[in-house]
Chains A and B, each alone.
Chain A
Amino acid sequence: MAVRVQTEDFDITVEVLKLRRGNPKIGAVACFIGLMRDINENVTVTEMTLEHYPAMTEKALTEIVEQAKRRWDIMDVLVVHRVGTLKPMDQIVLVAVAGSHRRVAFAACEFIMDYLKTRAPFWKKEKTDKGVRWVEARDIDDDAAQRWH
């Protein structure tokens, strides 16, 4: 299990190979990749800066992964989240979950993303054609996390 916060991009092929290497019991790897869009709330976005709370971030991500491991019989998890300045089409986040079968892998991957969106201390600031603004948290993300309770 690994969680990483980094400014650099990630290569999903390399990451998934590392995650499943040498374990013939893994039958499924579910991956989620979050990407930066060039539009948000009908405004063109040209750049985004991700800030985080360095001391807390890895701890929060690790706790989320541990919760997923308690709920589902999964074999390994990787979470990579980028910080710093990103452009449209850039990769933001990767969650990869390895398990014996697809159902646990899909479920745990979705759970980790839902919790990450509402509990991990990251904040996005957008540069738009109308100026700079902080992204507001959305109720729909709270609802998504709530359904796992």
Chain B
Amino acid sequence: MVNLVYFARLREALGLDSEKVALPQGVGDVASLTQWLRGRGKVWDTELAPGNRVRVAVNLEVAEQSTCIADGDEVAFFPPVTGG
């Protein structure tokens, strides 16, 4: 299982702050996980589309599309940060 967490505008749009999912066959990096989540359709497809500049962190480190994901990881999805 991996723990998925969502923040800020994305959390509100998806209506979900976290969930545990079993990684499907063939999902092993950020790009394929994002693609799989977009496959849920509707708001998932639009919110996680590339044009939305969604940021991803894997195990609390900022990740790239190619960053690997394995069982037990925490993967966070969020909009560009706006602190300070």
Q: B-contacting residues of A (Cβ < 8 Å)?
A: 34, 50-53, 55-56, 59-60, 81, 92-93, 113, 116-125, 134-137, 141
Contacts and interface: CB of A to CB of B under 8 A. Distances in A.
Interface of B: 5, 7-9, 53, 57, 60, 62, 74, 76, 78-84
A124 to B, nearest CB: 5
Specify the main secondary structure of chain A where it touches its partner: mixed
B83 A134 contact: no
Contacts of A51: 7-8
Contact of A53 (B7, B9, B53, B82): B7
Given A123-B7, A125-B8, A134-B9, A52 B83 contact: yes
Max chain B CB contacts within 10 Å: which of A60, A93, A113? A60
Contacts of A124: 82-83
